[in-house]
Amino acid sequence: MKFKRTEIPDVIICEPNVFGDERGYFVETFRQDKLEEFLGYKINFCQDNESKSSYGVLRGLHYQLPPFSQTKLVRVLKGRVLDVAVDIRKGSKTFGKHVSVELTGENKKQVLVPRGFAHGFVVLSDEATFAYKVDNYYSPECDRGIAFNDASLNIDWKLEVEKMKLSPKDTKQPLFENATHFENIKSLYE
């Protein structure tokens, strides 16, 4: 497995080695020891989640506050999505910046989204199956979000707003400036 830092060094792209032939393929999708060696810190995933969505579904931008903040390791099993992570750590050099990565069932890339980031994705194929690991359990009391279309974030979702399908929850999220940000999480790379 190869690991690559993005423009925001705490967000990591994980690219597994795929071994294939005319019969199909084999891929090792997760190695905790290799990931921890690259990160330089321990990570303990405790829950796996999966969602299936149709074209235009946008989920996000979501995050959880402490003590239930989460690191996510996200991937697409089938289809194609644009995955977005927004830095919401006050004091970070990249506060308010984001990283976008196209994830597909074919490229098998994964993105590690650390604590202190809001996360979302939009489906760009007819449908997509999205899977992710988290290192903390879901807590409705700590669940928060940011408006996906906040102009200050300048996210290009690669899809016209008229074609997007959002949950009622995601149509009512606050703007970035009004959202709750993380106060005590710093980048390990600044």
Active site residues: 62, 132
Residues with Cβ within 8 Å of 168's Cβ and at least 6 positions away in sequence, in order, are none
Half-sphere exposure of 181 (CA within 13 A, CB side): 16
Q: Are 85 and 98 in contact (CB under 8 A)?
A: yes
CA nearest to 55, candidates 100, 108, 121: 121
Identify the helix (H) or strand (E) that includes residue 35: helix 32-39
Question: From residue 133, how far is each of 20, 25, 149, 186 by CA, in Å?
Answer: 25, 22, 26, 22
Q: Distance between CA atoms of 110 and 101, rounded to whole angstroms?
A: 9
